[in-house]
Amino acid sequence: MQKTLLLVLSFLAVYVVKKYQDWRRAIRSIHDLPGFRHVFGTQASVLARRIPYLCTGSLSPWLRKHDDFVQYDSDIITGVRLFPCDATLFVADAEALKEITSARTRFPKPLHEYEAVNLYGHNIVGTEADEWKRHRKITAPSFSERNNRLVWDETIGIVQELCEDVWGGKDHVVENIVDVTIPLALFVIGTAGFGRRMSWKAEVDVSYGHTMPFKDALHVISVELWIKALLPSWFIRWAPIPRIRAFKTAYTELERYMIEMIEERRSSEKKEQRYDLFTSLLVASEEESDGITKLSDSEVMGNIFVFLIAGHETTAHTLAFTFILLALYQDQQEIMYQQIKSVIPDDRLPSYEDMGKLTQCYAVILETLRMYPPVCLIPKTTAEDTTLHTRNMAGEPIAIPCPAGTGIGIHVAGIHYNPRYWKDPYTFNPSRFLEDWPRDAFLPFSGGARSCLGRRFSEMEAVAALAYIIARYRVEVKEEPQYAAETFEQRKERMLTCKTAVTLYPAKAPLVFKRR
C-alpha cells in the first residue's frame, strides 16, 4: 500500500513539475507582458464572471469591455491559462486588428474551437485555407440582390402580420422583447433562408414521417446550440435530461427536413425561380465552376445551418437590444420616427427602395451593434512568428512579440468601447454613424475576407422591422411598482442586463408597444 501511495505521489509530483514548466514556457513566449494569469480561460464558459486566478469567465470580455486594457496600459494584453497551458493576446487596437483580419494565412482560425458549427457538415465558418476558398466561392453568390429583396419583403410581411393579426385591435401590448424578436427572426430565416414560409399562428401539423414541426425543430436548434458547443458528445448522446433530449430530437428532425428539401428540389420537373439561400446554394453547388469540387449534401446542409445561426440569433438579439435602447432613449426614438415619416409620409408599406433613405434606422442598428456586439471575442491563432504593434494609454508605441501558435482574441467589446476611436463610447449616440466613423474599429461581423457573408441580410431585416413597427408604435419600458423609485441609470442597467450562450442577449426586458 505504501509503495502504491509513493508511486502515485511520484507521478503527481512529476505532473506538477511538468505543468509548472509548461506554464513558465507559455509566459516566456509572450515575454511576460502584462495580462491575465488563470487556471482556466474564457473557455470555462459555465462560469460567467471572473474569479481571480481561477478563470476569466465567459462574460468578462463584455463586462470589462476596454477596462482591462486601461488597467494593463496597452491595447494588446496577454492571457495565460494552465488548462490547457497556452498563451493568448487580446487585441483592441484597430491597426493591429486590420492586420490580423486581412492576413488570414498568418492568422487562421483555430478550427477546433468551431466544431459546434459543423453540426450538419463542414461549412464556410468551420474551414480554412483552400477548403474555405471552395466554400466561399460557392456560397457567396447566394447572398444576392434578389435575396436581399426577398429578406426585405418577407420581413415586412411578418411584422405586418404581427401588428395587424397578433396585436390587432389592441391599443397597447406588453411583451418581453426577446419573445417578439426571436420568432420574428426565425420566420424570416425560415422563408429567406430555407424557402419555408412560417407565421405567428401555431403550427400544429407535423409533416408525414416527422415527430416535430419544421418551425419547432429550427427554433430548438437555433437557441440550444450551446449544448453542442459546451457539452461532450457522449454526454449529449446518453443524458436523460429533457432539454438535451429535445435538442437531439430537433437535430434529427431538422436534418431529415433538409434532406427532403434537397431531394424535392432536385427531383422537381418544374424548376421554380426561388431566391432563398437554400435553393441558391443548392443550384450553385451543382454547377461546374473552374474545376471547383461541388459541395456534398452534408456541406450544403452545413452551410445553410451556419446561415441559420448567423441570420437568426444575431438579428433577433440585435433587434431586442435596439427596441430596449429606443424605449430608454425616447428622444432618439422620436428622431427615428420623424425620419421614417419623412421617407414614408403616408401609411404605405416600406419598400425595398426605401432602405437607402432610412438612414436613422440604419444608424441606430449600427450603434446597437457597437454597444452590444453579438460576439465579444473572436478567436484566431498565429501560423508564424510575428510582431504586433500597439500603443499604451499615453499613445506611446509598443511592440508585442507573437510567436507561432499563440492564440489571438479579437476583443470586439474592447475595440467598440475604446475611447481612442469612439467619443463617449458608453453613450448611445446613433448620429456618430451619420458622419465619418472609424470602420476599422467596428467589428460586429468580424473583418477582412472572413467577415460575415450575411451582414447585408441581417441589416436588411433589422431596418425593415424597425421602419414598420416604429412608424406604428411607440415603445416604452413597462412601468412596474417595485421599480418606481429607480433612477434612469438603474433602469438602464436592469433592462440591459446581459447573458451569453452562442451570442450576447438581454436577460429579460418587458416593453410596452403603444399604437400611435
Cell of 304: 445553410
Strands 76-81 and 86-91: antiparallel
Cell of 446: 468580424
Strands 510-515 and 473-477: antiparallel
Residue with cell 400544429: 204
Q: Residue 495: name the closest of 178, 186, 182 by CA.
A: 178
CB count within 10 Å of CB 46 equals 10
Task: For residue 272, report the phi and psi dihedrals to the nearest 5 degrees.
Answer: -80, 150
- Annotation-wise, does 452 bind a ligand? yes
Residue environment code for 257-283, b if the CB has 16+ CB neighbours within 10 A, otherwise e: bbeebbeebeeeeeeeeebbbbbbbbe
Kind plus residue range of the DSSP H or E element containing 475: strand 473-477
- Angstrom distance (rounded) from CA 40 to CA 82: 6
Residue 506: strand pairing partners: 498
- Angstrom distance (rounded) from CA 334 to CA 468: 14
Cell of 486: 429607480
Residue with cell 428532425: 253
- Going by the annotation, the residues of the binding site are 452
- Going by the annotation, the residues of the binding site for heme are 452
